[in-house]
Chain A
Amino acid sequence: MLNYLWGAMLLLGIVYGAFNGRLPEITAAALDSAKEAVTLCITMTGVMALWVGLMEIARKSGVIGRATKKIQPFISFMFPGLPREHKAREYITTNIIANVFGLGWAATPAGLKAMEALKELEEERKTHPVGGRRAAPKGTASNEMCTFLILNISSLQLIPVNIIAYRSQYGSVNPAAVIAPSIAATLLSAAAAVIFCKVMEGRQSVWKP
């Protein structure tokens, strides 16, 4: 995906610029942007190191673990057909917590594991109903998969660390000013996702035993 997107951006820019006689500006922009990307990364490294370091303390001292326990009622509400002891539950929880605390790189592996575990859940459902549900047809997303992805994409996040780092790099008077509005926006989009999933799940009764 990114190969085409990136290629298209470059080709489009150069061809369009050539027709407008802006090739000198394009040369300057290419060189300046490359330099700027590195400067930006160096600024960002400080903020990221601070944040990940802090989160490491949170993880080791059990703050993250406790947050994981606290959201279990929410997980049960969103995934009523998922048994309490199923391993998909653990991965889903890890993924959501990692997203909330801005640990994106920890979120993706757990998310992929969650999808694998949900697939295994479907295999189990082929032999006997689990959580009051039969397996979805082959190659079709189960309700749990749909809910998990929609929740993931609604992008619950406590602190948008990257954005704050970028804002401070580009001279914001108060880089952190967007934290609470971002939380408000993310809560709204997550609420929309939750309502949507609940409505759609209610309509899907085909695979009930």
Chain B
Amino acid sequence: METVIQILLYISDMLVPFLILYVVAHGLLVRRPVYDDFVKGARDGFKTVFQIMPTLVGLMVAVGILRASGFLDFLSETLGNVTELVHFPSELVPLTIVRMFSASAATGLALDIFKQYGTDSYLGLATSILMGCTETIFYTMSVYFMTAKVKKTRYTLAGALLATFVGVAASIVLAGMMK
């Protein structure tokens, strides 16, 4: 297990430099104006962040208020008795539930966990992994199926919940191994 984590950490460290090297070298080889392309893309990246800024203000305020009111602690403590039985950290319960409905609201809760417990704590690591391997099930399903005018979604929800469950379980186990 130790070696698995060592390898995973090694890949984590390598991946970003490797991707930059690969993409830029490939761009130069096919004689693209790599710097111009980069600046154009970076400009789009700017726009994207500025578009999400108002939603982030709204949601971080909402989570901040929930945290300050003591409600989040109350919720974790209440649900904790149940979730402790399956070794699921109670602090992650609100995040896991909200994640299925709204990506930005979940981001607000994830940042709250980073602030409360630290990014590199067990909870911080589990949150980081969990956010990357789960998706807003209900939002995605409603928007996508609305587009196709579908009402009977058959086994989609079951499959989506299964994938999410596996993702959450994997996040917790992997975070536990890293600590």
Contact = CB atoms under 8 A, between A and B. Distances in A.
Interface in B140-162: 140-145, 147-156, 158-160, 162
B70 A38 contact: no
A53 B119 contact: no
A16 interface: yes
B105 A111 contact: no
A38 B142 CA distance: 30
Nearest to B119: A172
Given A16-B70, A150-B163, A188-B170, A1 B102 contact: yes
B23 A58 contact: yes
A179 to B, nearest CB: 4
A38 B159 CA distance: 37
Interface of A is mostly: helix
A159 B14 CA distance: 12
Given A61-B23, A141-B156, A2 B102 contact: yes
A160 B69 contact: no
B115 A6 contact: no
Interface in A1-27: 1-2, 5-6, 9-10, 12-14, 16-17, 20, 22, 25-26
B134 A155 contact: yes
Contacts of A22: 68-70
A209 interface: no
A45 B43 CA distance: 10
Interface of B is mostly: helix
Given A150-B159, A179-B11, A180-B9, A62 B58 contact: no
Given A50-B42, A178-B129, A181-B12, 11 more contacts: A40-B60, A45-B49, A57-B32, A58-B27, A112-B143, A116-B147, A153-B137, A155-B134, A182-B128, A186-B167, A197-B159
Interface of B: 7-13, 15-16, 19-20, 22-24, 26-27, 29-30, 32, 34, 37-46, 48-50, 52-53, 56-71, 74, 98, 101-102, 104-105, 107, 110-111, 114-115, 118-120, 124-125, 128-135, 137-145, 147-156, 158-160, 162-164, 166-167, 170-171, 174-175, 178
18 contacts: A12-B69, A26-B65, A33-B61, A37-B53, A41-B52, A48-B46, A50-B45, A53-B37, A53-B39, A61-B23, A145-B145, A145-B150, A155-B134, A163-B128, A166-B110, A176-B16, A180-B7, A180-B10
